[in-house]
Amino acid sequence: MQPAPSNLIVILLVVVALGALAACGGESAAESEPEPSAPRPLRRAPPFALESLEGESLTLAGLEKDHRAILMNFWASWCEPCKVEVPDLIALHEEYRDRGFTVLGVTVSDLPRDSRAFVKEMRMTYPSVIGTPAMLEDYRLSPWLPTTLLVVDGQVVGEWVGPRVRADFEYPIKAALGLAPPLDVMLKDASGAGE
């Protein structure tokens, strides 16, 4: 006597579930998942050595010696949306720079003299480097400006395309610096706030 089709489906589901448990080695979800607030890597951040707008050489390795988290903002002087987010980037840089954080501007498809004028006009307090086509290709960037990446421990852990506000960047930065409560605690607190 052959099992009914619905019983066959149940048997297959049980076999698949047992196989999945065996493949996981019996780890619980808590053991295999990172902390909820820890940023998850999207891809490796390729090393670079680029000229700053002041004529100095800046490298990713050099920045990482002094900064746990680097917010790389790709911009151009002709990009109107880039201007919108610069005040928030300055504020983030100023607030967290003593805690192992920096913003790094990366100019794209721009003349250095125009980039320097933009930095002066916007009163940018963080360094900017001149991006190269090879670097942009290595980072697999969107062609749209501004684009912003959060780099932690040599890994890209956040990526935003288009102009953003401070709140979009702040929690991931705080999480990368170990200053944010776990996301599940924040959600629990938020859900209890209306009671």
Listed in sequence order, the DSSP H helices in the chain are 5-24, 29-32, 60-66, 80-96, 112-122, 133-138, 166-176, 183-192
Q: Tell me the C-alpha distance between 75 and 177, whole Å.
A: 24
Q: What mean pLDDT is predicted for residues 85-103?
A: 96
For the stretch 164-195, pLDDT in tens is 999 999 999 999 999 887 666 656 666 665 55
For the stretch 123-157, pLDDT in tens is 999 999 999 999 999 998 888 999 999 999 999 99
Residue ranges and CATH numbers for the domains of the chain are: 43-180 (3.40.30.10)
Q: What mean pLDDT is predicted for residues 58-74?
A: 94
Answer whether residue 10 shows pLDDT above 90.
no
